[in-house]
Amino acid sequence: MQQGAVWQAVLGEIELSVSRGNFVTWFKNTSLLEVSEEKIVVGVPNIFIKQQLERKYSDLVSDTLKRNGVVAPIIEYKISNTPVSKPDETTDLESVSDEDDLGEPRVTTPQSSLSHSYRQGLNERYTFETFVVGASNELAFAACQAVATSPGTKYNPLFLYGGVGIGKTHLLQAVGNTLAGRNADAKILYISTEQFVQEFVDALRFRKTATFASHYRTADVLIVDDIQFIAGKEKMQEEFFHTFNALHQANKQIIISSDKPPKDIATLEERLRSRFGGGMSIDMQIPDYETRCAIVQSKAQAHDIVLPQDVVEYLAVNVQTNIRELEGALNQLLAFCEMRNLDPTLAVASSLLNVSKTRPKHLSAKQIIERTARHFQIPIEDIVGPKRDKDIVVPRQIAMYMLRNELHLSFPKIARELGRKDHTTAIHSVEKIEKESKADPSIRTAISEIREHLYA
């Protein structure tokens, strides 16, 4: 993976967590100059920006780099004359940004002539094309596509909810990007609830609530991410209620995400709760194993890398709860291999990812054997019994292999667990499965699936 690509990914994330003005001012013309085990060097255009990044944004930068697989004890900011800006962006739009340059978040005021201010918060990295669809998210995907096709008519509001890192922001942004691409004049606002609250607080402080209100109430599409953070903020809820009504009455599309359904958001005003539930609510789940594999493969391909299937499966099995972490693990692997000039093999992946973290302590030999028998739909008595039919011998060998790999049991113990007297049977079986799993994808899949169930 190229340094440039890593930095673009980092900037993409930072762009979503700071205001547009701050992003343009502090991050726009930065680049990644050097990555080594000792240090990371970030190129910046001038001393002013250097100081600001060191003082105010160093945690944000190092955390975001880390999430993208780049870690070093030192992060240095170096003034460099060759700022890298994206070739497809015109700089004149940026230079007329009305927003602050002193690091204070300020209210974004409506701009009549600048279309880019209507694209607030959108990150073009997130599209429908790059979203992998599976059973866990197909409903959400379809609803978002419907909304992108005919906003304001079908599902209003569209409310997506589900755990962390499972693709809510990605889908919300994809709707925004699609609409923005289709209609250059549409006023599409994407905002995280935290930023929304911050802007509102600032509006109160600087007596600009009218400007704030009119900015949001004149949107054509309003996308509010992570609405759970509005809990307990009464004034903000009041303000949002009116914004919501104004938009809804004008048939403007509203899209909201949350980590839980409206009824479970503590201290959410009843009237908002009922507004949120008044359209379409969709529960998103963590993608299943096959979808996770497809996501890993497609993210690797985006870096022009085709990962060996065993590595894909390894990542998908070991990072099960969160696609952001799955992506982080992949980026970590690719960055590691890039820096050391290695191929991303299973051995590298497994040495890099600390699997023991996800391994439940209580996993027993019995559970592994039971799970393996269940997977192959054979009775446990058969797998630990004397039968020598092929459709029992192979599962038995796989069970031995799993006992060795997951629990690191000794060969005599493995043999005993499966009712064998001779420990050389266990040695032979483990070796055989090790070898065959390299050649035979069905064996690999079986192992992955058993493992997935064991650690689910």
Binding residues (CB under 5 A) for Mg ion: these are: 168-169
**Helix (H, G, I), strand (E, B), or coil: what is residue 278?**
coil
142 binds ligand ADP (CB under 6 A): no
Q: What's the closest the beta carbon of residue 68 comes to ligand ADP, in angstroms?
A: 10
φ, ψ of residue 325 in degrees (nearest 5):
-70, -35
122 binds ligand ADP (CB under 6 A): no
Q: What's the closest the beta carbon of residue 329 comes to ligand ADP, in angstroms?
A: 12
Length of the chain: 456
332 binds, among ligand ADP, Mg ion, none (CB under 5 to 8 A by kind): none
Given a contact cutoff of 8 angstroms between Cβ atoms, the answer to whether 39 and 76 are in contact is yes
Q: Dihedral of CA 183/184/185/186: which sign?
A: positive
324 binds ligand ADP (CB under 6 A): yes
Nearest Cα to 332, choosing from 307, 345, 349, 357? Answer: 349
Q: Which residue is nearest to ligand ADP (CB)?
A: 167
Residue 257 is which amino acid? S
Q: State the burial class of residue 173 (Cβ atoms within 10 Å of its Cβ: 0-12, 13-18, 19+).
A: buried
Nearer residue to ligand ADP within complex by CB, 323 or 433:
323
**Cross-strand pairs, 31:** 43
Q: What's the closest the beta carbon of residue 16 comes to Mg ion, in angstroms?
A: 8
165 binds ligand ADP (CB under 6 A): yes
Which of 33, 84, 158, 166 binds ligand ADP (CB under 6 A)? It is: 166
Nearer residue to ligand ADP within complex by CB, 63 or 382:
63
Nearest Cα to 131, choosing from 164, 93, 177? Answer: 177
Given a contact cutoff of 8 angstroms between Cβ atoms, the answer to whether 3 and 32 are in contact is yes
Strands 253-258 and 158-161: parallel
Which of 47, 164, 342, 380 binds ligand ADP (CB under 6 A)? It is: 164
- Site size toward ligand ADP (CB under 6 A) is 16
Q: Which residue is nearest to Mg ion (CB)?
A: 169
Task: Please give the sequence-ordered ranges of beta strands (E in DSSP) within 355-440, or none if there are none.
Answer: none
66 binds ligand ADP (CB under 6 A): no
131 binds ligand ADP (CB under 6 A): yes
Q: What's the closest the beta carbon of residue 376 comes to ligand ADP, in angstroms?
A: 30
Build a one-symbol-per-residue string for 9-48: x at contacts with ligand ADP by CB under 6 A, - elsewhere: ----------------------------------------
Nearer residue to ligand ADP within complex by CB, 166 or 219:
166
123 binds, among Mg ion, ligand ADP, none (CB under 5 to 8 A by kind): none
Instruction: Tell me the C-alpha to C-alpha distance, in Å, between residue 267 and each of 192, 233, 262, 281, 401.
Output: 19, 8, 10, 19, 51
Q: Could you give the CA distance from residue 371 to residue 380 in angstroms, rounded to a whole number?
A: 9
170 binds ligand ADP (CB under 6 A): yes
168 binds ligand ADP (CB under 6 A): yes
262 binds, among Mg ion, ligand ADP, none (CB under 5 to 8 A by kind): none
Q: What's the closest the beta carbon of residue 233 comes to ligand ADP, in angstroms?
A: 20
Q: Dihedral of CA 363/407/379/419: which sign?
A: negative
Mark the segment that binds ligand ADP (CB under 6 A) among 47-55, 126-134, 378-386, 447-455.
Answer: 126-134
Nearer residue to ligand ADP within complex by CB, 174 or 443:
174
Residue 272 is which amino acid? L
Which of 25, 30, 156, 169 binds ligand ADP (CB under 6 A)? It is: 169
Q: 251: Cβ–Cβ under 8 A, 6 or more apart, which residues?
A: 152, 153, 156
Nearest Cα to 190, choosing from 141, 256, 143? Answer: 256
79 binds ligand ADP (CB under 6 A): no
Q: Could you give the CA distance from residue 45 to residue 26 in angstroms, rounded to a whole number?
A: 9
132 binds ligand ADP (CB under 6 A): yes
Q: Could you give the CA distance from residue 204 to residue 18 in angstroms, rounded to a whole number?
A: 19
Give residues in contact with ligand ADP (CB under 6 A).
130-132, 137, 164-170, 287, 295, 323-324, 327
